[in-house]
Amino acid sequence: MDSKFSQSLDRGLAVLSSFTPERHTISTSELADELDISRSTAHRYVTTLVALGYLQADGHGNRYRLTLQVTKLGMSAMSSTSVREHARSYLKQLSRETRLTASLAVLDGPEIVYLERMRGLRQAGLDTRVNARRPAYCTAAGKVLLAHLPAAEQKDLLGAMRLTRRALNTLTDPRQLQAQLEQAFESDIAIDDQELAPGVLGLATPVRMANREVIAAVDLVASITAVDHEDLLDSFSAPLLRVAGQISARLGYRRSES
């Protein structure tokens, strides 16, 4: 083995890699068995990762989960890799066609983060900053991304959210939010009807990788002075779905023929 190789770093990364979408919590004993190390060694690695902010106790016995610190690393990689680059020209096309603000967003814990935004001609007064964060539960992009999470992860994330009223139509009842997520999962379309801010509407659909995983959402944001709720859904769903499909195709996704 190369003398410059760090076995401790290798083991620490192996601990982080033990988490999967299907297994979002893990115990030190499970880590010890999986990595073929002693319980005390596993505990030492976990304690170090907790101290560094990459793991946290989940409150149910001797089990741990990843923190948003790990998500931030993935966000940094994603913001500089293919999905943003592939999406940019299509978002410009969508914004020109609809004259609305077109964005690419990803889920970061209970929030969405905008990786790219193209301001529309009819969007005076709307915040269109890249890297802006918004609560997922009251945005169209956030609802699409929450809808396509693995069931256990979605349940944990929703259970930890405070559904605070932000505007006239903000959903503060978890049952109503769950119903909208189920609808978004079935239709691949989610709507924000003045839930985030007064006078602001949103429409979103997912972006998929080759393995069908939803990794981002494309959304259109409109002011009610430019378009009403019904027109947003009726007139802009088709171009939104088309552009999200084009971005997904560039990432290797192929729609099933069945």
pLDDT in tens, 134-156: 999 999 999 999 999 988 889 98
Spatial CA neighbour of 195 closest among 232, 167, 219 = 167
**Number of Cβ atoms within 10 Å of the Cβ of 209:** 14
String of DSSP letters for 74-131: HHHHHHTSHHHHHHHHHHHHHHHHHSSEEEEEEEETTEEEEEEEE--TT-TT----TT
Q: What backbone torsions phi and psi does residue 104 show, to the nearest 5 degrees?
A: -120, 125
Indicate the SS3 state at residue 223. Answer: strand
In the chain, count of helices (H) and strands (E)? Answer: 9, 9
Determine the average pLDDT of the residues in 229-233: 82
**All domains in the chain, ordered by first residue:** 7-66 (1.10.10.10), 72-250 (3.30.450.40)
SS (H, E, C) 164-176: CCCCCCCCCCHHH
pLDDT at 132 over 50: yes
pLDDT in tens, 70-101: 766 665 555 445 688 889 999 999 999 999 99
Alpha carbons 218 and 240: distance in angstroms, whole number: 7
Q: What is the pLDDT of residues 34-56, one digit of tens each?
A: 888 888 888 888 888 888 888 88
